[in-house]
Amino acid sequence: MIGLNILAVASCIALAVKFIIMPASAKIIYANEYKELMFQCDSVMRDHMIAKNRVIHEKNTEAIKDLKAAEIGLLSCHDYDKLRKKMLIWGLTKEEISYIGLEAIEERTKDLMKYVEIHEFKY
């Protein structure tokens, strides 16, 4: 009988760790790094799109050199993606991670036009 009680207590502790402590810890530990990597990746993707469009219109060595540099810069998005996956493994939901991203935008954006620019689709 005591063994079942110990098993029940251990199960409750394990569930609390998995569903409460791990996600809360991940948010505390990784939120600031996630916010920084999110902005870095966004900036690199924007630079890549600009460089790619430039090569379409200007086929010269400087434009191609800039495109190659932008492509190498995209590797920074790998760190962002890895951290996002780590946060999911630690139990944060996609919605919670997205909310951290929105907080980052709020922290860095001071005027309305920046909000529009960040959320605007670019073709």
Please tell me the predicted confidence (pLDDT) of residue 75: 87
Contact 118, 105 (CB under 8 A): yes
Check: CB of residue 46 under 8 Å from CB of residue 78.
no
Q: For residue range 6-18, what is the model confidence (pLDDT) as tens digits?
A: 999 999 999 999 9
| Confidence class for position 76, pLDDT limits 50, 70, 90 | confident
pTM for the full predicted model: 0.77
Say if CB 73 and CB 48 are below 8 A apart: yes
Query: Would you kindly state where each structural domain of the chain is located, as residue ranges?
Result: 22-119
Given a cut of 80, whether residue 52 has pLDDT beyond it is yes
Q: Where are the alpha helices (DSSP H) in the chain?
A: 2-16, 22-57, 61-73, 76-89, 94-108, 112-119
Q: Is pLDDT at 100 greater than 90 in this prediction?
A: yes
Give the residue from 121, 113, 84, 117 showing the smallest Cα distance to 99.
84
